[in-house]
Chain A
Amino acid sequence: MRFIPLASPSAARVGLITLASVAVALALCALIFVFYGVSPAEVYSTMLRGTLGDSIGLAEVGRRTIPLLLIGAGLAIAFRAQFFNIGGEGQLLLGAVFAAGTALFIPLPGPLLLPTVFIMGALGGGLWALIAALLRRLNVNEILSTLMLNYIAVALVTYLIAGPWKGKDVRGYIYTDSFPDAANLPVIAGTQVHWPTLVLGVAVALGLQWLLGRSTFGYALRVVGENPGAARYAGISSARVMTVVALITGGAAGLAGAGEVAGIHHRLLEAGQISLGYGFTAVIVAWLARGNPALCLITAPVMGIILAGGDLLKIDLNMPFRVVDVFSGVILLCLIASEVFVRNRVVWGARA
């Protein structure tokens, strides 16, 4: 087997290889299940039946798709600019904090409250990512800084709900009081699918795709990401582009955080309950979409199925709750490995 570099891989090739790598990942996971002592057929049929098979399952997928779509679309943009944001989790939490603060403490007339909650959420997430962008100007790698900021965000949420923001009528529990009704999002009846956030997510994905492909800023972003030397030559400021990119990717995650608290929990509560690892799973969403925000409309539900299906495995098959991480990890590894096949043609057989 030999690898021959391809001049320019076609879109079809990239798509097929991406699909193939997911298939390989599912096969590898099947092997893991065999060793774990459960039948892969049972695992996958449980997952499919419980997610796509009935309306409750579909709703669960939808609920998880919303934050994945928002964060993933923002990350797609960030990756194109070579800004490796893996702090979606922290930015989501800061969005939730800003949104909750607004809903709980700012007296606004009813119709104005929800838009403000979202705007503040985006601001919280954006500012959190901005810290990493500013540190990058001092040559601090953003992979490290965004990762560290995740931990600080968790600590901040814990401090707030156990300290200054602890609810008055919650007795021993640590969370805030409930939001006023005007700050709660409508849901599709009988589910936790807060559809206004879903609509927002679709709009953000399409809007960012436009930004990347059709706007002057998107052009500058691609130049900075693909050849920083040319950006300097043309007078495009990489630092300024990174600042805006950080605000966008962090802002999108912040919107997701606002949606989670205003749409599902109606209060600020422990970090682990607000986010089910969305910030990390969204990295896979963005990667599967190969940096195209609009393709997250497909890849976010796919990862939504895996998250929701994984939760079923814990309940129905009594599997450990880390099973979702196994899926995510294996898929990510397969995606990384697939890069070789995207960039090279493989020739089988003996050499002459």
Chain B
Amino acid sequence: MTQPQPASSRPPALELRGITKRFPGVVANDSVDLTVDGGEVLALLGENGAGKSTLISILYGLYQPDEGTVSLGGQPVRIGSPAEARKLGIGLVPQHPLLVSRHSVAENLALGGGQASRGGGLFPARGVAGRVRELSEKYGLEVDPTARVSDLSPGEKQRVEIIRALLGGARVLILDEPTSVLTPQEASGLFRVMRELRADGRSLIFISHKLDEVLDVADRVTVLRRGRVVGGVPTAGATRESLAELMVGRGVDFTRKRGAALARGEVLLDVQNLTASGSRGLPALRGVGFTLGRGEVLGVAGIAGNGQSELVEVLAGLHPARGTITLDGQPLTGGAEARFQGGVAHIPEDRIHSGTVPSMTVADNLALRGYGRSPLARGLARDLKATDERARQDVEHYSVATPGIHTPSRLLSGGNIQKLILARELHGQPKLILAVHPTYGLDIGATDQVHRVLLERTNEGAGVLLVSEDLDELLSLSDRIGVMVGGELRGPFPVSEVTRESLGLLMGGAHPHSIPGAGQGVVA
């Protein structure tokens, strides 16, 4: 062994030394050193594109490092593929679930299950179902092994991935932004799982942009910036502010960004009695009505699956509904394309499966909205020069970190894909911005930037419908907040009349009148 070990201490469960990984145009990891002990949760922090996902892809055998070594329990190992990583006891819960949508949960788990899938003979899915139930009960990870993956919510898919990693018997478990798609309840369930695994002596690496969670669950943080380790501290004694400063190299403001709530202005969007059925045929919206003023930010809170997605899809022209919608005094009708033209921008929930075409270039993705019209097209022909020109502007204006505008968007880091979508949707002057988890996966700096851009647009008269599961984000940006419960909209209430706690209770289905402070909420 080349690495001298102090005789007294045991070697760390996992140790990375001098890991370097270069991609055309970027050094994603630059001599990274990192250790995790058994029974320890390490949080990996860093801005979008700092190299976090790359580093764990190396650990999981998806990439080979150009330089450096990985050791497990003091033994240098070579991890040639994910299968080898699993054999070595390294499990990964990826940033975006990698499941086969047409198969059932049990079939998916049997596919990557290793020894766990034995016992079912020709039908490994049967052998695995029992183990899945056992694990999901033990850790409170609710999933139905017979459900089809295509019917699952993002949160449910994430839970399947966690179970898959646990089934493989992982000693080192890596979680890449596992909470970005989870509801607060699901997230605290996950943290319970993580604590139990830690008590079990396993090592966990946890990536998150939500510093509260990091302080809550991690023992230690390591911070990456532009591929290099720039610091590491124990979480005991650290604060959100101190971690943020380590990450971005300057102070970050966590106070409410919106000044005083806006005086109600002219009505921009008027929604009356909206009724729609959901994808599984059940009613998803039951008589939703509200108004949104010019320059207003209306927050929509709620536990996933209570009709928020359908509300946004209906407004964006992607889902049929009964009821009336007027924008700027005109009835809002037509398909997605017509509505975008009419000033309705839509930052979608799922950036990989609907927000972008991952195999297409950054420039082509930025043209998804305007490709068929001047200035990006002349007659039936695309104007590729204008398309590139627009892409260059957007990339620069929204600081999308990409090797070039002709790089497939699939190669961008999660946060940069989100910036690409924002750049495209906010190009021009949208009147109404439908923003669903607009900062999902973004680092603090980028989140700040997105918030500022959205608020800037409201100053120019745009209205924002902000759907988020992050209550802090809602409270920090909204003028009024409504809560979706079972397809109905409670409120909206002026932001001064609600608190984290009262919103939490409303999301759980409590009646507004039973909650002090939220009682006089005016239904617009």
Specify the chain A residue showing the minimal Cβ separation from B317: A235
In the complex, A339 has a CB within 8 A of chain B: no
- The stretch from B76-84, B225-233, B391-399 touching chain A is B76-84
The answer on a CB contact under 8 Å between B318 and A351 is no
| B354 pairs with A219, CB closer than 8 A | no
List, in ascending order, chain B residues with CB within 8 A of A2's CB: 80-81
Cross-chain contact B350 with A219 (CB below 8 angstroms): no
Contacts A219-B364, A351-B78 given; does A227 touch B353 at CB 8 Å:
yes
**Which of B336, B337, B357, B382 makes the CB contact (< 8 A) with A223?**
B357
The residue on B at minimum CB distance from A218 is: B382
A233 nearest in chain B by CB position: B354
Q: Which A residue's beta carbon lies closest to that of B338?
A: A235
| Interface 9-residue window, one of A190-198, A209-217, A241-249, A325-333 | A209-217
A226 interface residue per 8 A CB criterion: yes
A8 within 8 A of B: yes
Map CB proximity to A onto B49-68 as digits: 1 under 8 Å, 0 otherwise: 00000000000001010000
For B372, the chain A residues whose CB sits under 8 A away are 216, 219-220
Min distance, Cβ A212 to any Cβ of chain B, angstroms = 11
Alpha-carbon distance A337/B315, docked complex (angstroms): 46
| B413 CB → nearest A CB, Å | 13
B336 touches A215 (CB 8 A): no
A residues in contact with B78, CB < 8 Å:
351-352
**Known contacts A4-B80, A230-B354: does B335 contact A235 (CB below 8 Å)?**
yes
- Minimal Cβ-Cβ distance residue in A for B353: A229
- Bound form: Cα–Cα A352–B339 in Å: 57
Q: Give Cα A7–Cα B409 distance, bound, in whole angstroms.
A: 11
Interface membership of B346, Cβ < 8 A: yes
Is A186 an interface residue when CB atoms closer than 8 A count as contact?
A: no
* A contact residues around B410 at 8 Å (CB): 7-8
The reply to whether A215 and B380 contact each other, CB–CB distance below 8 Å, is yes
* Tally of A-B Cβ pairs under 8 angstroms: 86
Chain A residues, Cβ within 8 Å of B77: 352
| Interchain CB contact under 8 A, A227 and B411 | no
What residue in chain A is nearest B23 (Cβ atoms)?
A: A7
Complex Cα gap A112–B78 (Å)? 72
Q: Which residues of A contact B369 (CB under 8 A)?
A: 234
Interface string of A268-288 (1 = CB under 8 A from B): 000000000000000000000
Smallest Cβ distance from A10 to chain B, in angstroms? 11
Whether, in the assembled complex, A11 has its beta carbon less than 8 Å from a beta carbon of chain B, the answer is no
Q: Is B201 an interface residue (CB 8 A)?
A: no
- B154 CB within 8 Å of chain A: no
- Shortest Cβ distance from B436 into chain A, in angstroms? 12
* B206 interfacial by beta-carbon distance below 8 Å: no
Does B408 lie within 8 Å of A8, measured CB to CB? yes
Q: Which residues of A contact B12 (CB under 8 A)?
A: none
Residues of B contacting A49 with CB < 8 Å? none
Please pick, from A4, A214, A218, A223, the residue contacting B368 in the complex, using a CB distance under 8 A. A223
Residues in A neighbouring B482, C-beta threshold 8 A: none
Q: How far is the CA of A218 from the CA of B371 in the complex (A)?
A: 11
Is A235 a contact partner of B377 (Cβ separation < 8 A)?
A: no
Closest B residue to A352 using CB positions: B78
B26 contacts chain A at the CB level, 8 A cutoff: no
A residues in contact with B337, CB < 8 Å: 234-236
CB contact list, A1-35 vs B, under 8 A: 2-5, 7-8
The answer to whether B355 touches A230, judged by C-beta atoms less than 8 angstroms apart, is yes
Query: Please, which residues of chain B bring their CB within 8 A of the CB of A236?
Result: 337
Interface assignment of A63: CB less than 8 Å from any CB of chain B: no
Residues of B within 8 A of A230 (CB): 353-357, 368
A137 within 8 A of B: no
Is B499 at the interface (CB under 8 A from chain A)?
no
Query: A227 — nearest CB in chain B belongs to which residue?
Result: B357
Q: Judge whether A222 and B338 touch: CB under 8 Å.
A: no
Chain A residues lying within 8 Å of B384, measured Cβ to Cβ, are 214
Q: How far is the CA of A135 from the CA of B183 in the complex (A)?
A: 41
The answer to the question of B367 belonging to the interface, with a C-beta cut-off of 8 Å to chain A, is yes
Identity of the chain B residue whose Cβ is nearest the Cβ of A222 in the assembled complex: B360
What is the size, in residues, of chain B's interface with A at 8 Å between Cβ atoms? 41
Contacts of A234 in B (CB 8 A): 336-337, 340, 368-369
Residues of B contacting A217 with CB < 8 Å?
380
Q: Does B348 contact A (CB under 8 A)?
A: yes
Given A219-B367, A226-B360, are A233 and B348 neighbors across the interface (CB < 8 Å)? yes
CB distance from B392 to the nearest CB of A (A): 19
B135 to chain A, nearest CB (A): 29
Alpha-carbon distance between A226 and B360 when the two chains are bound, in angstroms: 8
Give the distance in Å from the alpha carbon of A319 to the alpha carbon of B346 in the complex: 64
A315 close to chain B: CB less than 8 A: no
Are A215 and B371 neighbours in the complex by a CB distance under 8 Å? no
Q: Is B368 within 8 A of A5, CB to CB?
A: no
- Closest approach, in angstroms, between the C-beta of B323 and any C-beta of chain A? 21
Determine if A233 and B381 form an interchain contact, defined as CB atoms under 8 angstroms apart.
no
Closest to A210 in B: B381
Bound complex: CA A232 to CA B78 (Å) = 43
Q: Assess whether A233 is in contact with B318, with CB atoms less than 8 Å apart.
A: yes
The complex places the Cα of A124 from the Cα of B354 at a distance, in Å, of 36
Known: A2-B81, A8-B408, A233-B336. A216 touches B377 (CB 8 A): yes
A199 contact set on B, CB distance < 8 A? none
Is B153 among interface residues, defined by CB-CB distance under 8 A? no
Asked if A188 is an interface residue, CB under 8 A from chain B, the answer is: no
Point out the residues of chain B lying under 8 angstroms from A7, CB to CB: 23, 410-411
Residue from B355, B360, B371 in contact with A233 in the complex, judged by beta carbons closer than 8 Å:
B355
Report Cα–Cα, A144/B382, bound state, in Å.
Answer: 35
CA distance A215 to B371 in the complex (A): 9
Chain A's nearest CB lies how many Å from the CB of B77? Answer: 8
A346 to chain B, nearest CB (A): 12
CA distance A222 to B358 in the complex (A): 12
* Complexed CA–CA distance, A2 and B79 (Å): 12
Q: Which listed residue, B62, B367, B411, touches A8 by the CB 8 Å rule?
A: B411
* Bound-complex Cα distance A16 to B335 (A): 44
Task: Check A229 against B354 for contact (C-beta < 8 Å).
Answer: yes
Asked whether A235 lies within 8 Å of B81 as measured between CB atoms, the reply is no
Most chain A CB within a 10 A radius of its CB, from B62, B354, B359? B354
- Nearest-CB residue, chain B, relative to A211: B380
Interface set of B (CB-CB < 8 Å, partner A): 23, 62, 64, 77-78, 80-81, 84, 317-318, 335-340, 346, 348, 350, 353-360, 364, 367-369, 371-372, 377, 380-382, 384, 408, 410-411
List 9 tightest A-B contacts by C-beta distance, closest first. Answer: A235-B337, A235-B336, A352-B78, A233-B354, A229-B354, A229-B353, A227-B357, A216-B372, A235-B335
The chain A residues found within 8 Å of chain B, CB to CB, are 2-5, 7-8, 214-220, 222-223, 226-227, 229-230, 232-236, 347, 351-352
Instruction: Please name 29 pairs of A and B residues whose Cβ atoms are closer than 8 Å in the assembled complex, sorted by A.
Output: A2-B81, A4-B80, A7-B410, A7-B411, A216-B380, A218-B382, A219-B371, A222-B357, A223-B360, A223-B368, A226-B359, A227-B354, A227-B359, A230-B353, A230-B356, A232-B354, A233-B336, A233-B348, A233-B354, A233-B355, A234-B369, A235-B317, A235-B335, A235-B336, A235-B340, A236-B337, A347-B80, A351-B78, A351-B84
Known: A229-B350, A230-B353. 10 other contacts (CB 8 A): A5-B62, A216-B372, A217-B380, A219-B372, A220-B372, A227-B353, A227-B357, A234-B337, A234-B340, A235-B337
